[in-house]
Amino acid sequence: MAVIRDCNLKSDEELVELTLSDQGWYLCLMQRYEAKLTRFIRRISGVNDQDLEDILQDVFIKVYRNLNNFDLDLKFSSWIYRICRNHVISHYRKVQSRPQSIGGEDGELILHMIKDDNDPHELIDETLSNEKIQKVLSQMDKKYQEVIVLKYLEDKDYQEISDILKKPVGTIGTLLSRAKKQFKQVVQKQGTEF
């Protein structure tokens, strides 16, 4: 007989505690993070759908195996994103993945979010096409691509990005500032007007 679990009423940390005593609760965490991690993996890696599914499955296995090591005083979302990020990096190193590409709605979202953070005189021209945004991001340093994806696409705050990347909050602010600067430099180098 299947047990019906009300996952929505529990916090991530409560689900972790419940999972430690009853593995059936882990499905709640998987369901909660499947779409989020899928988007995150796609955005930072550019892998094909099959590789993405393999990475996601490996991440969920790794998270489950390490639940005992999770510090309940920390945010679970930061912890799972860090594991995911590290696994994507390992995968990238193993198979020498293709260059990252971000397009479609993601490209428009990055453009909009970066634009909103800047002074009106520094706004990026809204006529930039998704192809140009993909090209810009692919020419940026990986560390800057990553911080842009976490901040503007995954909507993580500085503390969460700090936890995921294992860097001080101040460094995250610096990275984000440099990422926006590099984004603009690449756009200008390509001859696109602001």
Residue 138 corresponds to which amino acid? Answer: S
146 and 117 in one domain?
yes
Answer yes or no: is 115 within a domain: yes
Contact 166, 174 (CB under 8 A): no
* pLDDT number for residue 128: 43
- Whether residue 66 is found in the same domain as residue 121: no
Question: What confidence tens digit (pLDDT) does each residue in 87-122 have?
Answer: 998 888 776 544 444 555 555 555 555 545 544 334
- Judge contact between 20 and 67, C-beta under 8 A: yes
| Closest among 7, 90, 9 to 45, alpha carbons compared | 90
Counting the structural domains of the chain, the total is 2
Has residue 123 got a pLDDT over 70?
A: no
CATH number of domain containing 177: 1.10.10.10
The residue to which tokens 């200008």 are assigned: 188
pTM above 0.85, yes or no: no
CA distances from 181 to 83, 120, 153, 168, 193 (A): 28, 15, 18, 20, 15
17 and 82 assigned to the same domain: yes
- pLDDT on residue 72: 83
| Residue that terminates a domain, selected from 42, 68, 95 | 95
Gap between the Cα atoms of 2 and 4, Å rounded: 6
Average pLDDT over residues 31-52: 90
Q: Which of 95, 114, 135 is the last residue of a domain?
A: 95
Q: For the segment 159-191, what is each residue's pLDDT rounded down to a tens digit?
A: 999 999 999 999 999 999 999 898 888 888 877
Entry field: residues in the chain = 194
> What is d(CA 61, CA 105) in angstroms, rounded to the nearest whole number?
30
CATH code of the domain covering residue 48: 1.10.1740.10
Single residue among 95, 123, 153 that ends a domain in this structure: 95
